[in-house]
Structure 1
Amino acid sequence: MSARTPYVIKGDTGDWEVVMGLEIHAQVASNAKLFSGASTEFGADPNCNVSLVDAAMPGMLPVINRKCVEQAVRTGLGLKAEINLYSRFDRKNYFYPDLPQGYQISQFAHPIVGEGEIDVDVEPAHGGEAYSFPCRIERLHLEQDAGKSIHDMDPNATYVDLNRSGVALMEIVSKPDVRSPAEAAAYVKKIRAIVIALGTCDGDMDKGNLRADVNVSVCKPGQYEKFRETGDFSHLGTRCELKNMNSFRFIQQAIEYEARRQIEIIEGGGTVDQETRLFDAVKGETRSMRSKEDAHDYRYFPDPDLLPLEIEQAWIDEIKASLPELPDQKRARFESEYGISHYDAGVLIADADKAAYFETVAKGRDAKLAANWVTQELFGYLNKEGLELGDSPVSAEALGGLIALISDDTISGKIAKDVFARMIAGEGEAAAIVEKHGLKQVTDTGAIEKVVDEIIAANPEQVEKVKEKPQTLGWFVGQVMKASGGKANPKAVNDILKAKLGL
């Protein structure tokens, strides 16, 4: 991994840097809502999963869901964060048609999870070497989701669906430690991988179960370092919030556009307004949604209907003991146990299904070869066809069988690619394909020597050339492989050629 270097944007008046903090809203994996027993099932008909509490009927009182509290604690532990034994719910007051109570129950002054830190691995969007950076977590708090306003059914009306009202969310707030579009996407990916591994959120961004608000500001080089030294936010520019981002690609595009928009305003003599903005993926630009509120605008006060949460350390210890292997732990194990690169390990632990698939392929086989085939050949095919791993036409066991044939020299790597293509086409297991099409590799050195002798005898000029320039041996290798139909063992071919030519 290389060192982290500043992400610089060229403006008309010089260089600029971008600074971001992110708020990730992760829907808690729970069958019931945060303060009611209503179902959290996705895709139900509008207003079917709504209790009297969710609809804010008079006299209805919220009752905390213990499972949601447990999931928040598990997530906090996965973020290496402090779990607060005392936390409290507050009312965040604002008006919107899909908020029937007129307030959102959230946590303001006393969140359930305090500060933590995670390491984020970054693959730069425009090339360059991969690197890692630490991102500080400011807090995680529980809150209830709002309903959904529907505007496209009737141009003259707005409809409200309260199925989502009261669903439990974990809001994970980072410090402003993110410094580029690629880092922002990588951070969201890392949080997503952690909550999926923990089983506290399914991470389904298409359904909106995990989405991010990105606070973007720009500043001159050196200002961020001053902020880190002093904690004074005046060293950073005015921030704008990009709301409800649920695509890694769109997150990067939106940040790139927004940063340049702010730079143009400042260089033109204007000032950036603190506001919430939406990203138009079709136009590739952000647009104003509303002015950005500060905490005092919401008139937070303790919710009088809910007692403070007081958690026992013994319960936290019990949850901690039940934690599964987390992405960083799995990556370290893959590197040490299988001897694969840091990069390949990162690709393979990106989600639980990929990791499990690889481990099945690699079991009792050449792990490095298995990693190469999974990350390059299989994932390359799936990406090209727009398929998910679950849609793969080649099972992990079947790919493992192909790896075994390469390892024991039954087939060469080149022939293996042909076999793999036939497996994708549905011809069956690798061993059966090799037998059916007569693709076994020729390892009989006598047969290979015969072919080598014939090619050497037919090409005396090339023999003299390779003796002068040994690096041209590849020409002979190619001719032998061609003559054998690609079946000759490449290592044996090289060894025999070198012996025959005196190299």
Structure 2
Amino acid sequence: MLSYRSTSVLLADHAPLRKQLKEAARAGRGKQDGEASERERVRQERLANWELTVGIEIHAQLNTGSKLFSRMSVSKYIVSHMLTDTGASAEYTDVPNAATWPFDLAVPGSQPLFQSPVLIPAIRAALALNCHVQPRSKFDRKHYFYHDQPAGYQITQYYEPFARDGHLILTQQDGLGKTDAERLEVGIKQIQLEQDTAKTQEQDEETSLIDFNRSGHALIEIISLPHLHSAEAAAAYVRKVQSILYAVDAATTGMEVGGLRADVNVSVRRLGDENGSHSYSGVTGLGQRTEIKNLSSFKSVEDAVRAEADRQIDVLESGGTIEGETRGWSLSSPGVTRRLRGKEGEVDYRYMPDPDISPLYIHSEVVDQLRDQLPPVPEQLLDMLCARYGLTVADAQALLSLDDGGRLLWYQDVVARLGVLGNDAKSRIGVQVGNWVLHELGALLTTTETQWHSDLIHAQQMADLVSLQAENKLTGPSAKRLLRILLDGATGPVAAIAEKENLLFMPMTDEEYDNLASAVIDANPDEADTVRANGKQAKGKLKFLLGQMMRQGDRNRIEAQRAEMVLQAKLLQAGP
């Protein structure tokens, strides 16, 4: 028969199977993390001898109601109309090849009809990216044959685009890499209007389905200068361009739903070698570049740049040469780029002015008016939230990123209902509301798995909750309980809801505090004697007694600061 002691030793030596499996998994993860860390260290040591250069071409769908050269709707096709008591209504569907115009299908004899409203979001994008809008621009034909482009050419603005010479500022807050500078200015060579292609759906190796609903959508192509020198900077640049396009309402969808795509041009050269034989967008002395097409996520941009840089370095260190080519990136083989075709040049595409489209003239008054009406870009919003509302950079960035800016608008509405912020740059109101909107409400949404929307809790209700707590009419726990009640759909004045739920704070009298403190001291004489003997040095015992007071008191009435003062007065012979 085993004794208790021997049984304890046996159990200690033989841990339960579940615990053993957890420890083994933890050890395995630690080993994998260590190996990955070592691989990255070796990679960084090798990269220290090379300079990576990246230029990016971003294709973004404009927020416009019609296509670039036809009146057809860009998103939905009306398949039936019917009259109701309130007038005409329509049913909408995404039927493939239904939202097309003869010109979208390259029907012989059809002609392009430029839709001037597409200029509004395009100019907003150009201004937000600090570009100069050209008073005159022209359209060109870019010739190539592919089944998603039935005309055999794409209409674009290669030679005379509508916007030139912009720039974008990236900082470490935007996600630059450790090897990047604190502040990086990325030049934008030009922004050009062009038409989108049809959508291809591969059925099998021999069959592809073509949907021409997307054909002819108005795009802008944003061409950067090769000013990026890390994979992290490349992803940060694309991310920031997308956020700016969102902010100024130039685009309504991003990479996550296919509304924005990126092509990256990657080259490497040995560090200190200024005699590279290649140039790109006016920058000379570069290594031979390759282009990776149609990247559809920020992660794929970063991973593809990193993988292609590693591949080129491997080739060069082994004595090979880099070929100018177009490469692809597949999620089925992460970490590897693959050759698609030889790199086409200006001659291959046989660019020529489009004879069917007149030059595009943009009056300076139109540009000035759109500049005056331009919404603030994320950088300006970040500065405003920190300077005027008193938020930390981290909280301001979180607020900007939530719900496509919807949470920010709701936050500002709540603050506005609490009164003018005034001249105080670190407004207490802005900070308090920020804490509730981001942290308290954010945590509650997560735990309840609730999708946020602006009507979930009325802005006035949130403002009243913050006001009640600021006026000491609600304790912290009571305010959190009240927030949950509001989230569950309670309507009406918040003060009335709080009173009905018995949440309003009713301060205890001095006599009640004195009686509560005496009761706690009498129930815990040893702890009380220790405090009397050692004074404030006995912090642990003092906190214990205070905790007892808080637990025994009415949580809707007791204040921790007042309770501590009364407790110290009784034990330390000091007045409150």
* Matches for 1:188-337 after TM superposition, within 5 Å: 188-219=238-269, 233=283, 235-281=285-331, 283-288=333-338, 289-337=340-388
Q: 2:470 aligns with which of 394, 399, 407?
A: 407
What do residues 82-121 of structure 1 show as CA deviations (whole Å, max 9, x unaligned)? 1111211111111111101111111112110111223335
Change (3 A) 1:236 1:403: farther
Residues 19 and 216 in structure 1, CA contact (< 8 A), matched pair in contact too: yes
Q: 1:38 aligns with which of 69, 72, 88?
A: 72
Query: Among the aligned pairs, what percent are the same residue?
Result: 32
The answer as to 2:204 corresponding to 1:134 is no
- Distance across 2 between alignment mates of 1:465 and 1:238: 76
* Matches for 1:109-128 after TM superposition, within 5 Å: 109-121=159-171, 122=173, 124=175
The answer as to 2:174 corresponding to 1:104 is no
By how many angstroms is 1:188 displaced? 2.8
Matched residue type, 2:475: S
Residues 25 and 171 in structure 1, CA contact (< 8 A), matched pair in contact too: yes
- Distance across 2 between alignment mates of 1:209 and 1:216: 23
Change (3 A) 1:410 1:177: farther
Change (3 A) 1:84 1:497: farther
Change (3 A) 1:448 1:385: same
By how many angstroms is 1:318 displaced? 2.6
TM-score, scaled relative to structure 2: 0.74
Residues 180 and 229 in structure 2, CA contact (< 8 A), matched pair in contact too: no
Change (3 A) 1:21 1:383: farther
- Distance across 1 between alignment mates of 2:495 and 2:261: 45
Residues 248 and 377 in structure 2, CA contact (< 8 A), matched pair in contact too: yes
What do residues 381-410 of structure 1 show as CA deviations (whole Å, max 9, x unaligned)? 556787754388445444334323332223
In the alignment, which residue of structure 1 is the partner of 2:118? 68
* Structure 2, gaps ≥5 residues long: 1-39, 77-92, 419-428
Which stretch shows the higher mean deviation, 159-168 or 238-247?
A: 238-247
What do residues 443-492 of structure 1 show as CA deviations (whole Å, max 9, x unaligned)? 43624454345445522255255622659865555444333365433443
TM-score, scaled relative to structure 1: 0.83
Residues 410 and 454 in structure 2, CA contact (< 8 A), matched pair in contact too: no
Bigger Cα Rg: 2
Matched residue type, 1:44: D
Residues 308 and 337 in structure 2, CA contact (< 8 A), matched pair in contact too: no
Matched residue type, 2:430: A
Residues 406 and 454 in structure 2, CA contact (< 8 A), matched pair in contact too: no
Equivalent pairs counted in the alignment come to 493
The answer as to 2:489 corresponding to 1:438 is no
Q: 1:344 aligns with which of 395, 399, 403?
A: 395
The answer as to 2:236 corresponding to 1:171 is no
Matched residue type, 2:407: K
- Distance across 2 between alignment mates of 1:137 and 1:477: 62
In the alignment, which residue of structure 1 is the partner of 2:559? 489
Residues 180 and 233 in structure 2, CA contact (< 8 A), matched pair in contact too: no
Change (3 A) 1:191 1:468: same
In the alignment, which residue of structure 2 is the partner of 1:358? 411
In the alignment, which residue of structure 2 is the partner of 1:376? 439
- Distance across 1 between alignment mates of 2:207 and 2:257: 24
Matched residue type, 1:451: L
By how many angstroms is 1:359 displaced? 0.7
Q: CA-atom RMSD, angstroms?
A: 3.8
